[in-house]
């Protein structure tokens, strides 16, 4: 691919190269919406966890809304819904910032957008939004990956200037499948082996088998950076860089784990043609047409 500074899924061997983009796109001044300590954390580890950003009342409202979605058979029939391969339970619902008034408002909430704008250094829009459900006893894992690798290859996101904001709708802990992250892994780019299959998203959003790191590279990264677990109460918010290596275990505890995700991308980093030979993924997974700055 021409002009591809982050090639992946093109070779038979994996390669680890240095990140070519900043992590923090603003100066750490006194006017920053976060303390220098938190900004350092984000820059060095590739994530930060902010406890109790949303109140218990707000979390209760969100929980009511997700219960309705989970109980609604019509939701499961929409293209935006991703169900588990084996039990048909709802795994994710995409594009909720467009299709759900309550969550559309959360997407614009300045408690999160001010932070995203600061880290990414200017105007932002939503590249992707989704709810991820991991119901008690039945919730399935998300295998290790860098989001940027997928967004670059399959969506055509040119540079690392995006981040995920995960709002915890239930308590997240090591037992119920909280997100695990490798602190510092965002500073290196790991290319993956193998080509992208046609209509890959129909499979990958249920269980990803292409665009995942090879075993040797994961051993290497885990030895080098270690693995942290984002444990916090409902209402807390995890911000993580688009290239931080992360994944999560299944949930065999009785307690559900539900999280709301917004992916903010800088307005100058809009997606182009994908960096693979496949057609772009649908708008409900990767915003291409409906780009409005928040």
Interacting residue ranges for ligand 6CS, rule: CB under 6 A: 128, 130, 142, 145, 147, 150, 204, 208, 285
Closest C-alpha among 45, 38, 64 to residue 243: 45
Q: Running DSSP on this structure, what letter comes out for residue 251?
A: B
CA distances from 118 to 32, 33, 108, 261 (A): 7, 7, 15, 18
Q: Are 131 and 81 in contact (CB under 8 A)?
A: no
Rank residues 39 and 127 by Cβ distance to ligand 6CS and give the closer one.
127
> Binding residue for Fe ion (CB under 5 A) from 97, 117, 147, 167?
147
Q: Is beta strand 162-168 parallel, antiparallel or unpaired with respect to 237-241?
A: antiparallel
Binding positions for Fe ion, 66-85, rule CB under 5 A: none
Stretch that binds Fe ion, among 115-123, 142-150, 191-199, 251-259 (CB under 5 A): 142-150
Using rule CB under 5 A, residue 149 touches Fe ion: no
Q: Are 221 and 213 in contact (CB under 8 A)?
A: yes
Task: In angstroms, give the least distance from the CB of 246 to Fe ion.
Answer: 6
Rank residues 211 and 256 by Cβ distance to ligand 6CS and give the closer one.
211
Which one of ligand 6CS, Fe ion, none interacts with residue 204, CB within 5 to 8 A by kind? Answer: ligand 6CS
Rank residues 141 and 216 by Cβ distance to ligand 6CS and give the closer one.
141
Which one of Fe ion, ligand 6CS, none interacts with residue 161, CB within 5 to 8 A by kind? Answer: none
Closest C-alpha among 138, 103, 147, 137 to residue 239: 147
CA distance 15 to 8: 9
CA distances from 180 to 43, 62, 174 (A): 17, 24, 9
Task: In angstroms, give the least distance from the CB of 27 to ligand 6CS.
Answer: 29
Task: In angstroms, give the least distance from the CB of 209 to ligand 6CS.
Answer: 11
Stretch that binds Fe ion, among 26-34, 139-147, 249-257, 270-278 (CB under 5 A): 139-147
Task: In angstroms, give the least distance from the CB of 147 to ligand 6CS.
Answer: 4
Task: In angstroms, give the least distance from the CB of 217 to ligand 6CS.
Answer: 17
CA distance 154 to 216: 24
Using rule CB under 5 A, residue 154 touches Fe ion: no
Which one of ligand 6CS, Fe ion, none interacts with residue 152, CB within 5 to 8 A by kind? Answer: none
Residue 123 exposure: Cα atoms within 13 Å on the Cβ side: 7
How many CB atoms neighbour CB 162 within 10 A? Answer: 24
CA distance 85 to 11: 29
CA distances from 210 to 58, 153, 198, 201, 205 (A): 37, 11, 11, 10, 11
Task: In angstroms, give the least distance from the CB of 38 to Fe ion.
Answer: 21
Task: In angstroms, give the least distance from the CB of 227 to ligand 6CS.
Answer: 17
Stretch that binds Fe ion, among 46-54, 67-75, 93-101, 144-152 (CB under 5 A): 144-152
Residues that bind Fe ion (CB under 5 A): 147
């Amino acid at each position: 691919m021409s002009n591809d500074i982050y090639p992946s899924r093109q070779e038979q061997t994996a390669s680890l190269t240095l990140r070519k983009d900043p992590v923090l796109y603003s100066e750490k001044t006194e006017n920053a919406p976060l303390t220098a300590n938190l900004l350092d954390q984000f820059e060095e580890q590739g994530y930060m966890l902010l406890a109790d950003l949303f109140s218990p009342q707000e979390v209760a409202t969100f929980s009511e809304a997700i219960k309705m979605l989970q109980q609604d058979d019509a939701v499961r029939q929409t293209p935006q819904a991703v169900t588990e391969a084996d039990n048909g339970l709802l795994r994710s619902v995409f594009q909720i910032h467009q299709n759900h008034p309550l969550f559309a408002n959360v997407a614009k909430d300045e408690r999160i957008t001010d932070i995203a704008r600061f880290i990414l250094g200017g105007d932002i829009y939503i590249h992707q939004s989704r709810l991820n459900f991991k119901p008690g006893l039945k919730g399935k894992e998300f295998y290790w990956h860098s989001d940027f690798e997928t967004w670059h290859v399959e969506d055509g996101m040119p540079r690392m200037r995006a981040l995920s904001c995960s709002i915890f709708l239930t308590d997240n802990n090591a037992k119920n499948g909280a997100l695990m992250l490798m602190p510092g892994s965002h500073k290196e780019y790991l290319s993956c082996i193998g080509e992208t299959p046609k209509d890959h998203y129909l499979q990958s959003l249920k269980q990803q088998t292409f665009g995942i790191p090879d075993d040797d590279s994961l051993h290497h990264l885990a030895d080098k950076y270690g693995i942290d677990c984002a444990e916090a109460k409902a209402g807390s918010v995890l911000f993580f860089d688009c290239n931080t290596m992360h994944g999560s275990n299944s949930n065999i505890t009785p307690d559900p784990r539900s999280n709301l995700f917004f992916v903010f991308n800088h307005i100058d980093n809009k997606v182009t043609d994908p960096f693979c030979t496949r057609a772009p993924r649908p708008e409900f997974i990767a915003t291409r047409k409906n780009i409005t700055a928040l």
